[in-house]
Chains A and B, each alone.
Chain A
Amino acid sequence: GQQLNQSPQSMFIQEGEDVSMNCTSSSIFNTWLWYKQDPGEGPVLLIALYKAGELTSNGRLTAQFGITRKDSFLNISASIPSDVGIYFCAGPPPGGGADGLTFGKGTHLIIQP
């Protein structure tokens, strides 16, 4: 099956720093989704991307749909303690319809005060 590779696996940063993470695939995706999961909770949708090259922001978060359609990027500016969590990229397999999503393994963000 398709795999999404997320990098880095974990990040240890200082509060106030900017964060960058990415997600790559060997297959083309038509939609990229970024989720955040807090401990003991389900993933929460942050940003959805639908078009190659698209750049979308949600507050301090900005995500981009790579022009090759095989990658996506998420940036967080001026990180704060509540940004701690696991960030997942996800996308639907080709074919459309109400299919499940393929998820990456996540980037674990840890912020040191």
Chain B
Amino acid sequence: ETGVTQTPRHLVMGMTNKKSLKCEQHLGHNAMYWYKQSAKKPLELMFVYNFKEQTENNSVPSRFSPECPNSSHLFLHLHTLQPEDSALYLCASSRTGSRSYNEQFFGPGTRLTVL
């Protein structure tokens, strides 16, 4: 248990569906991240939020839409996805303003399958 939870753990959706992934951190951190992990590829950074403000969008297609209502919660809204978007989506958090700000703590991920 790392203090970062993600729901759902597994999701199967069609290309025309709309779904959302949820992440919650209980560590008192102020930065949150979305990563995509595909087979045989390094983890890819998607979005960064620092104090609820989006500070990075790593050239992610608009069919992925993040939302960060507060420093503890992060969502990833999905719509009209493609089969190649099937992957493990990982949420992470960290505490900025200290030497350890790069120490990111990950949730267990959501395994997404797009049919």
Contacts and interface: CB of A to CB of B under 8 A. Distances in A.
Contacts of A50: 99
Contact of A97 (B4, B50, B58): B50
B29 to A, nearest CB: 10
B102 A48 contact: yes
Nearest to A100: B45
Contact of A100 (B2, B40, B56): B56
A85 interface: no
B96 A98 contact: yes
B26 to A, nearest CB: 15
Interface residues of A, number: 26
Interface string B83-113: 0000000101010100111111111110100
A40 B88 CA distance: 9
B42 A104 contact: yes
Interface of chain A, helix or strand or loop or mixed?
loop
Contact of B102 (A31, A43, A103, A105): A31
Contacts of A42: 2, 4, 6, 90, 92, 106-109
B48 interface: yes
Interface string B1-32: 01010100000000000000000000000110
Nearest to A91: B102
Given A35-B106, A45-B105, A106-B42, 18 more contacts: A4-B42, A40-B109, A42-B2, A42-B108, A42-B109, A43-B90, A45-B103, A45-B104, A48-B100, A92-B102, A97-B96, A98-B31, A98-B101, A99-B48, A99-B55, A100-B33, A101-B102, A105-B40
Interface of A: 4, 31, 33, 35, 40-45, 48, 50, 88, 90-92, 97-106
11 contacts: A33-B102, A33-B103, A40-B111, A42-B2, A42-B6, A42-B108, A48-B100, A48-B103, A98-B31, A100-B48, A102-B42
